[in-house]
Amino acid sequence: MNRKDVDRNKISPMMKQYLDIKDKYPDTLIFYRLGDFYEMFFEDAVIGNRELGLTLTGRNAGLEERVPMCGVPHHAYVSYLDKLVEKGYKVAICEQMQDPKTTKGMVDRDIVQVVTKGTRLDSDLDEKDNNYLGSVYDFDYCYVLTFSDITTGYLYSMIIDHDKEKLVKEITKRNIKELIVSDKTDREIVQELREFYDILITIIDDLYEEDNYEGLYKNLNDIRLVTGVKHLLSYIINTKKGDLSHIQPSEVITSDKYLIFDVHTKRNLELIETIRNKDRMYSLLWLLDKTKTAMGSRLLKYNIENPLTDKEELNRRYDTIEKFLNEFILKEDLVRALDNVYDLERLLSRVSYGNLNARDLIQLKNSIRVFPTIHDILDELKYNKNIEVLNELYELLEKSINEDAPVTLKEGSLIKEGYSSELDELKSIRSNSKDFILKFEQEERERTGIKNLKVGYNKVFGYYIEISKSNIPLVKDEWKYDRKQTLVNCERFITPILKEKENIILGAEEKIIDLEYKLFMNIRDEVKKYTSILQNNSKIIAEIDMMTALTTVAEENSYIRPNITDERDIIIKNGRHPVVEKVIKDNYVSNDVIMRDDVNILLITGPNMAGKSTYMRQLAITVIMAQIGSFVPAKECSIPIFDRIFTRIGASDDLVSGDSTFMIEMKEANTAISEATQNSLILFDELGRGTATYDGMSLAQAILEYIHDNIGAKTLFSTHYHELTVLANDLPKLRNVHVSANLEDGKINFLHKVKNGAVDKSYGIHVASLAKLPKSLIERADEILDMYENKSKKEQTFTQTSLFLDFDEDKEKSSKIEEKLKNINPLEITPIEALNILYELKRDLDDKK
Ligand code: ADP
Ligand code: MG
């Protein structure tokens, strides 16, 4: 039975209340509180049945048919709710707003909060990751993207060109889980984000116009950015419905502040997770994350995804690492102190929103306890910032909150003795009465002579006297025992004095719980006053946590301080890939990357498995590490600040968008070509592989020429088209390098060493033999190869002319000269030999004439 088909004139009042509420939240599942359960009705119930495996039942609601229903117990609803939210549903909690015990008729109910992917505040979230909710506002000529992690209170704004791809890139790169978009926004974008990136999207235009959150956008002097914040706020406030005063003023992200790359590059370089297993292990983040706090870990991740371009700040960070390395004892003390700091940011969101428990406050207290230590160390290190020591707040929490308080706030046991005399008095009344009862039991046994007389307690009858069946005949009327319950083995009685004490105990109990709750809330309000100081402390702690982690990594792996130059020269000596190095340990072969002003493009050749891709990634990762302020894996490193990194690495990692590999290659090449500047870094790994040889080769060449002539970005370009190496003749800023390999007894031996010049042999078949293909097959492949090589020698000149060189018609001659040149290694011949060769070449040329 569907909600829409229901005759609302016939339906029961409660179900009418339900439908009225559901009308206001049509796209949201309603958890409707009914006694001890949250119930779902109609279509929601069907979803509950399907997604959670709940039993589908029905409820009479005055209609002919019963209304489909299923429910979850109220004390255990959270896990069910999380599961639905995880699957992309929005779930609204509808509570009873009045106490059913004291209300005549039907209780009022209302939605107290809506939980969605982007607005979760529960503690199940990954503490090492941010959970972003975003808003897109379409201004015709630009987009404004505003996003926030409401669990930590960070808020960001940015303006993006009115370009669909750029917008999608920003959103996906930042791993935003949920978006609200203004109605104007192109539905194609909405669909792409929903379908390919699994982002939960709501289309609304509302702006939050009240001024109680003005502080979040007061600093923004662009009305478009302000609108973005108001747009996002409208949704947050509508779903959370609680105090969100921990959200911090918006920080504007401008593209010149950060080294920019897109989600593909992030993936290709395995910054956050590996391509193959989508695992954090063996990613750059995994390598660098030696942080001790959740805040530090999130900050590090943010930095890896958003490296800086500010030279001064980077040098400040290198200085910090240097200082930590020199003062390693202080640094170790600092790390030890940080180990005691809990996730203050998320704690503060619970303080303001109100879903805080006593254990949170104990964590806060334990964190504050180490503030003085951290403060003093930073002072001693002359660090440029310091945290505020909060002794008063510490004292308050120390004397008030019980160390082993329960998670719920309605059971008492929250507050320590000595904090409130009123509470202590109630507690002593309670315990006196409990003592009385113990004594009473003792005295009754003696008075009655019934040795196994017991005083017990249960919720229905309160305190009672229990006497076993065999002793019942001994009970005398004059004792005034009042029989209440008969069980198989015993009977239970009450007496007036027992009732009187029971009233006192239960009365005190109730008062204690109420009072403890009230005291707890007062303490929470007190803590709330420290929100901005604590947030500021958190930021500093996150920063030093990240910096000590980077120091530890630098120390353990012998990284060095990079030198940021204002020139465009890249000089890296003995560079390593920090993650590959971790895996293969001492076997890693370090390599130089030298690209001075006279070189913009390195064309890298070499057999499969030689290490081309690794060499390229190594440079990009070194750049990223340097631009987050880390030391780098090399013996010497001098690099400029890069504005962007573009990559095309690997072939088949893009199943998601449905484009062919070749299409993706070309799209990514296009992005690089249209957006790169001469301050960018471009990595093209075997570009053009996805199409027929000549197509691919021609495109590769054209792209290289274009980058060379029009962009001038530093570019690493690996290729298996050896024909491309002749480009060095035409393009003065292109250099050939190759990754060397040896052939010994027909077996290939990888040296992984990058050397100058081109390699002209493909070792594909040898690699295949390494993969243990059958011997006969390998031999046959060798035969075929010989055939092709002979054939292609005849064709070679044609290929070269048509593709690359405007040589004159006499191909024979030029190739002969070329052949000779190719066999020369200028580094290995004496000046005399060189002169002789020069004569020879000249003679060859003259012969032709
Ligand atoms: P290519 O791109 O040339 O096919 P890769 O870069 O994928 O080669 O490297 C293949 C393998 O060689 C890597 O998995 C790695 O184990 C090893 N390797 C690469 N570079 C090095 C190096 N510099 N030192 C040691 N081993 C390396
Ligand atoms: Mg490769």
Q: How far is the CA of 603 from the centre of ligand 1 (A)?
A: 17
Closest ligand 1 atom to the C-alpha of 685? 2
CA 606 to centroid of ligand 2, rounded, Å: 10
Instruction: For CA atoms 708, 710, 716, 718, give the dihedral sign.
Output: negative
- Among the residue ranges 243-247, 373-377, 638-642, the one predicted with the least confidence is 243-247
Task: Look at ligand 1, atom 5, and give the residue with the nearest C-alpha.
Answer: 611
Ligand nearest the Cα of residue 607 is 1
Cα 507 to Cα 510: distance, rounded to the nearest angstrom? 5
Inform me whether the pLDDT recorded for 808 exceeds 60.
Answer: no
pLDDT of residue 417: 94
Please tell me the distance between residue 610's alpha carbon and the centre of ligand 1 in angstroms: 5
Both structure tokens of 771: 């993969």
Q: What is the DSSP letter of 336?
A: H
Which residue, judged by its Cα, is nearest atom 19 of ligand 1?
Answer: 611
Asked if the model's pLDDT at residue 835 lies above 90, the reply is: no
Distance CA 693, CA 180 (A): 45
**Is the predicted pLDDT of residue 383 greater than 90, yes or no?**
yes
Residues with beta carbon inside 6 Å of ligand 1?
580, 584, 587-589, 591, 606, 608-614, 752
CA–centroid distance, 748 to ligand 1, in Å, is 14
The tens digit of pLDDT for each residue in 99-120 reads 888 888 889 999 999 999 999 8
Q: What is the pLDDT of residue 762?
A: 57
Q: Whose CA is nearest to atom 20 of ligand 1?
A: 611
Going by C-alpha positions, the residue among 400, 347, 362 that lies closest to residue 528 is 347
Beta strands 57-59 and 67-73, pairing class:
antiparallel
Contact 741, 621 (CB under 8 A): no
Between 633 and 354, residue with greater pLDDT: 633
Ligand 1 mean position to 675 CA, how many Å? 30
Shortest-distance Cα residue to atom 26 of ligand 1: 588
* C-alpha span between 661 and 652 (Å, rounded): 6
Distance, in Å, from the CA atom of 618 to the CA atom of 735, rounded to the nearest integer, reads 18
Q: Judge residue 337's burial from the number of C-beta atoms within 10 Å of its C-beta, 0-12 exposed, 13-18 middle, 19 or more buried.
A: buried
Residues contacting residue 622 through CB under 8 Å, at least 6 positions apart: 562, 572, 575, 632, 633, 634, 637, 639
For residue 739, the ligand 1 atom closest to its alpha carbon is 3
Residue with the bigger pLDDT between 659 and 671: it is 671
pLDDT score for 289 = 97
Nearest CA to ligand 1 atom 4: 609
Across 615-619, 713-717, 764-768, least confident range: 764-768
Q: Which ligand has the nearest atom to the CA of 650?
A: 2
Q: Is the pLDDT of residue 527 over 60?
A: yes
Q: What is the DSSP letter of 483?
A: E
Could you tell me if 207 and 163 are in contact, meaning their C-beta atoms sit under 8 angstroms apart?
Answer: no
Residue 526 phi/psi, 5° resolution?
A: -65, -45
For 217-242, what is each residue's pLDDT tens digit?
Answer: 999 999 999 999 999 999 999 999 88
- The single residue listed with the structure tokens 């035969």 is 783
Q: 446-477, pLDDT tens digit by residue?
A: 988 888 899 998 888 889 999 999 888 888 88
Read off the pLDDT band of 657 (50, 70, 90). low
Average pLDDT of the chain is 89
Would you give the DSSP letter of residue 159?
E
**Nearest ligand to the C-alpha of residue 739?**
1
Phi/psi for 487 (5° steps) reads -115, 180
Cα angle for residues 690, 281, 131 (degrees, 5° grid): 90
Q: Tell me which range, 666-670, 746-750, 817-821, is most confidently predicted by mean pLDDT.
A: 666-670
Token pair, residue 427, equals: 């507690």
Query: What's the CA-to-centroid distance between 649 and ligand 1, angstroms?
Result: 14
Give me 485's structure tokens: 């319950």
User: Residue 356 Cα, ligand 1 centroid: separation in angstroms?
Assistant: 51
**In this model, does residue 487 exceed pLDDT 50?**
yes
What integer is the mean pLDDT of 419-428?
94
Ligand 1 atom closest to Cα of residue 750:
12
Instruction: Please tell me the predicted confidence (pLDDT) of residue 789.
Output: 62
Sign of CA dihedral 423, 429, 433, 436: positive
- Name the residue with the closest Cα to ligand 1, atom 17: 611
Question: Which numbered atom of ligand 1 lies nearest the CA of 583?
Answer: 16
Q: How many CB atoms lie within 10 A of CB 363?
A: 18
pLDDT (mean) for 644-670: 71
SS3 343: coil
The bridge status of strand 563-565 relative to strand 490-494 is: unpaired
User: Which pLDDT score, from 0 to 100, does residue 804 have?
Assistant: 36
**Which atom, in ligand 1's list, is nearest to the CA of 753?**
23
What pLDDT score was predicted for residue 806? 34
Ligand nearest to the CA of 687: 2
- Is the pLDDT reported for residue 756 higher than 60? yes
Residue nearest (by alpha carbon) to ligand 1 atom 15: 611
Q: Is 228 left (phi over 0), alpha (psi -120 to 50) or beta?
A: alpha
397 CB contacts (<8 Å, ≥6 apart)? 361, 362, 364, 365, 368, 523, 527
Pairing of strands 29-34, 37-41: antiparallel
Residue of 268, 579, 580, 581 to mutate, ligand 1, most atoms within 8 A of C-beta: 580
Q: Phi and psi of 595, rounded to 5°?
A: -135, 85
pLDDT confidence of residue 831:
75
d(CA 613, ligand 2 centre) in Å: 4
Q: Which ligand is nearest to the CA of 590?
A: 1
Q: How far is residue 483's CA from residue 467's CA, in Å, rounded to a whole number?
A: 11
What pLDDT score was predicted for residue 799?
38
Side-by-side strand order, sheet with 91-96? 57-59, 67-73, 37-41, 29-34, 91-96, 109-115
| Listed range (61-65, 334-338, 350-354) with the worst mean pLDDT | 61-65
Instruction: Read off the amino acid at residue 76.
Output: A
Q: How far is the CA of 785 from the centre of ligand 1 (A)?
A: 25
CA separation for the pair 731, 715 (Å, rounded):
13
CA atoms within 13 A on the CB side of 472: 14
- Find the ligand nearest to 612 CA: 1
Report the residue among 581, 593, 609, 621 best suited for mutation to probe ligand 1: largest number of ligand atoms under 8 A from its CB.
Answer: 609
State the sign of the Cα–Cα–Cα–Cα dihedral 352, 357, 361, 363. Answer: negative
CB 605 within 8 A of CB 738: yes
- When pLDDT is averaged across residues 185-198 and rounded to a whole number, the result is 93
**Distance from CA of residue 842 to its chain's centroid?**
64
Question: In this structure, is the dihedral angle defined by the CA atoms of residues 205, 206, 208 and 210, taken in order, positive or negative?
Answer: positive
In order, the DSSP letters of 132-148 are EEEEEEE-SSEEEEEEE
- What are the percentages of helix, strand and coil residues in the chain, rounded to 5? 50, 20, 30
* Predicted pLDDT at 654: 45
Nearest-atom number in ligand 1 for the CA of 614 is: 6
- For residue 583, CA distances in Å to 62, 184, 588 come to 69, 50, 9
Q: Is 446 helix (H, G, I), strand (E, B) or coil?
A: helix
Distance CA 752, CA 807 (A): 35
Please determine, for residue 575, whether its predicted confidence score (pLDDT) is greater than 90. yes
Helices (H), 370-472: 371-380, 391-400, 421-448
Distance (Å) from CA 274 to ligand 1 centroid: 16
Paired tokens of 436: 């009385």
Distance 649 CA to ligand 2 centre (A): 8
Ligand nearest to the CA of 767: 1
Instruction: Measure the CA–CA gap between 847 and 849, rounded to whole angstroms.
Output: 5
Q: How far away, in angstroms, is 738 Cα from ligand 1 center?
A: 13
Centre of ligand 2 from the C-alpha of residue 351, in Å: 51
Collapse the DSSP code of 11 into the 3-class scheme (helix H, G, I; strand E, B; otherwise coil) and give the result.
coil
- Cα(514) to centroid of ligand 2, in Å? 67
Residue 764 has a pLDDT of 61
Q: How far is the CA of 609 from the centre of ligand 1 (A)?
A: 6
The pLDDT tens digits for 141-153 are 999 999 999 999 9
For atom 18 of ligand 1, which residue has the closest CA? 611
CA angle 400, 537, 371 (to 5 degrees): 55
Which residues pair with residue 549 across a beta bridge?
none
For residue 544, pLDDT beyond 70: yes
Percentage of the chain beyond pLDDT 90 is 63
Amino acid at 26: P
Q: Tell me whether strands 132-138 and 176-181 are parallel, antiparallel or unpaired.
A: parallel
Q: Who contacts 43 (Cβ-Cβ below 8 Å, separation ≥6)?
A: 2, 3
Q: How many CB atoms lie within 10 A of CB 428?
A: 13
| DSSP code at position 411 | S
pLDDT tens digits along 687-706? 877 666 677 788 888 999 99
Strands (E) across 536-600 are located at: 563-565, 570-575, 591-595
Confidence band, pLDDT 50/70/90 cuts, at residue 321: very high
Nearest to 716 by CA among 831, 833, 614: 614
Closest CA relative to residue 118, chosen from 86, 157, 166 = 86
Structure tokens at 26: 């049509």
Ligand 1 binding pocket mutation candidate from 572, 604, 614, 619 (most atoms within 8 A of CB): 614
Nearest residue CA, atom 9 of ligand 1? 611
| Residue 684, both tokens | 């093209």
- Phi first, then psi: what are they for 21, rounded to 5°? -70, -45
Please give the average per-residue pLDDT across 808-829, as a whole number.
68
pLDDT digits (tens, 9 = 90+) for 89-100: 999 999 999 888
Could you give the count of Cα atoms lying within 13 Å of 604 in the half-sphere of its Cβ?
Answer: 28
- Entry pTM: 0.85
In which band, very low, low, confident or very high, does the pLDDT at 370 lie, cut at 50, 70 and 90?
very high
Atom of ligand 1 nearest to the CA of 610: 3
What pLDDT does residue 56 have?
93
Measure the CA angle with vertex 307, ends 305 and 312; round to 5°: 160
Contact 785, 765 (CB under 8 A): yes
280 burial level (CB within 10 Å; 0-12, 13-18, 19+): middle
Q: Which ligand is nearest to the CA of 763?
A: 1
Distance 585 CA to ligand 2 centre (A): 20
CA–centroid distance, 661 to ligand 1, in Å, is: 23
Q: Which atom of ligand 1 is nearest to the CA of 612?
A: 3
pLDDT, one tens digit per residue, over 712-724 is 999 999 987 888 8
Measure the CA–CA gap between 607 and 333, rounded to whole angstroms: 49
User: Which atom, in ligand 1's list, is nearest to the CA of 587?
Assistant: 25
Give the atom of ligand 1 at the shortest distance from the alpha carbon of 577: 23
Beta strand extents in 686-842 (DSSP E only): 714-718, 734-744, 747-756
Question: Going by CA atoms, what residue is nearest to atom 6 of ligand 1?
Answer: 611
pLDDT at 44: 94
User: What is the rounded CA–CA span in Å between residue 332 and residue 621?
Assistant: 27
The ligand 1 atom nearest the CA atom of 607: 3
Residue 645: half-sphere exposure toward Cβ, Cα within 13 Å? 35
